[in-house]
Chains A and B, each alone.
Chain A
Amino acid sequence: GAGVSQTPSNKVTEKGKYVELRCDPISGHTALYWYRQSLGQGPEFLIYFQGTGAADDSGLPNDRFFAVRPEGSVSTLKIQRTERGDSAVYLCASSSARPDTQYFGPGTRLTVL
């Protein structure tokens, strides 16, 4: 079956611009997670959705970052006024239940010039 997909695979933007990153989870998975992986580091948690609601957004670095999941399936991570320090690979994962495995997508590589 289809895995987690993320679009775009690569995004290059200029400092100060707004970007949206999309995640399509595995069909039927109720839980969805966003992580950020900087060069040479492990992934860092950003936000977790259970259904349509954000159950834990404590990992979002500041108020420039926002994520939605309006219908409990696809999620969009939104970054306003991008900064060079936002450059990283943004990973999405989904799971069906705790403590079930989180299945990861291939990521979106964001480069802020």
Chain B
Amino acid sequence: AQSVTQLGSHVSVSEGALVLLRCNYSSSVPPYLFWYVQYPNQGLQLLLKYTTGATLVKGINGFEAEFKKSETSFHLTKPSAHMSDAAEYFCAVSDSGGNNRLAFGKGNQVVVIP
């Protein structure tokens, strides 16, 4: 079974500073990895995903993430935080072997300080 660990439920970042959200996964088969963002009173929206190929993936709103198999990680970054980045972010994993279910981490609530 797959699982995801996201440490630090609340993350504060200054406007203009680097955003770094850590995600480590566990999977017995090659994983598919996702980052979703959830704004207040809205549904989950995909930021980016890794399935195969290039390990550095770029998503919407200037976010990117790098799949590192040796570290079982898929950390999310954005060079310069904007006030509109305040939201909850979830890392998720599914396996490439046939099971479609997503296993989510507990999420990171990002607060952007002006």
Contacts and interface: CB of A to CB of B under 8 A. Distances in A.
A binds B: yes
Interface of A: 3-4, 31, 33, 35, 40-45, 48, 55-56, 59, 91, 93, 95, 98-99, 101-107
Interface string B94-107: 10100111111111
Contact of B100 (A44, A48, A106): A48
Interface of B: 4, 6, 9, 32, 34, 36, 41-46, 49, 51, 90, 92, 94, 96, 99-107
A44 B100 CA distance: 13
20 contacts: A3-B43, A4-B43, A35-B104, A40-B9, A40-B106, A42-B90, A43-B90, A43-B102, A43-B104, A48-B101, A93-B44, A95-B100, A99-B49, A99-B94, A99-B96, A101-B46, A102-B46, A102-B102, A105-B43, A107-B43
Contacts, number: 60
B100 A104 contact: no
Contacts of A33: 100-102
A98 B105 contact: no
Contacts of B41: 106
Contact of A55 (B6, B100, B104): B100
A42 B36 CA distance: 11
A23 B107 CA distance: 24
Centre residue among A44, A95, A98, A102 by max chain B CB count within 10 A: A102
B106 A42 contact: yes
B74 to A, nearest CB: 14
Contacts of A95: 100
Contacts of A102: 46, 102
A8 B13 CA distance: 36
B8 to A, nearest CB: 13
Contact of B44 (A40, A56, A91): A91
Given A41-B106, A56-B100, A101-B49, 10 more contacts: A3-B43, A31-B100, A33-B100, A40-B9, A42-B4, A42-B92, A42-B106, A42-B107, A44-B104, A55-B100
